[in-house]
Amino acid sequence: MQDNKEQQPVFIEKALQQIIPGYKGYSEAGHIIEADKKIREHIIAGLDEMRSRIDARKKEFSVSLQTADSLSILESVTASLKTVSEALRYAPAASAGFDFSSFDASKCDKLKAYDEYLYFSMQEIKSVIDSLCASKDQADMKAHAAKIGQWVEKYLSQIKSRGRML
């Protein structure tokens, strides 16, 4: 009996696709919008978590001349991560106003590739953040901050490229 209830929405969906011109594209557009929104929210949450870890590390330093440089390094990294998070939050997204009639399968594949890059690149930078948070040496902190700075530039570039596609 339950199989019948699960099959009804599929049957109704297919029937609507046959009856209403453009319904399939409209339905697919909704899936694109929802998937785009979810991946962006997930990435932003990950970036926010990394920033909070660095903020916790900043609290370990006392305000003194010896730790001022380390504190400024960590502050610049959190500012960079915030910039990336905000750029992603306010970057163009798939939306209902977008012309989905021109949004073909190849564009869907490109959007998926951009989203995968954004997600996996964020995962890769976590190890650098881990190393930064564990650093005791200021030179080591600077080296990790430089890696993060390079990552931020590439990531922001990818967000802009993704926006041009949309």
Splitting the chain (166 residues) into consecutive groups of 10 residues, what average pLDDT does each group show? 55 64 59 79 92 88 69 91 90 61 66 82 90 89 94 91 77
CA-CA distance, 145 to 93, in Å (whole number)? Answer: 29
Tens of pLDDT, residue by residue over 65-84, are: 567 788 889 999 999 999 99
Residues 6 or more apart whose Cβ sits within 8 Å of residue 163:
91, 92
Q: Answer yes or no: are the C-beta atoms of 148 and 131 closer than 8 Å.
A: no
Q: At what angle do helices 105-134 and 138-165 cross, to 10 degrees?
A: 170
What is residue 66's predicted lDDT score, i.e. its pLDDT? Answer: 61
* Domains and their CATH numbers in the chain: 39-165 (1.20.5)
What is residue 65's predicted lDDT score, i.e. its pLDDT? Answer: 53
SS3 81: helix
What is residue 64's predicted lDDT score, i.e. its pLDDT? Answer: 57
CA-CA distance, 98 to 93, in Å (whole number)? Answer: 9
What is residue 67's predicted lDDT score, i.e. its pLDDT? Answer: 75
* Structural tokens at position 66: 């010896």
Q: Answer yes or no: are the C-beta atoms of 132 and 146 closer than 8 Å.
A: no
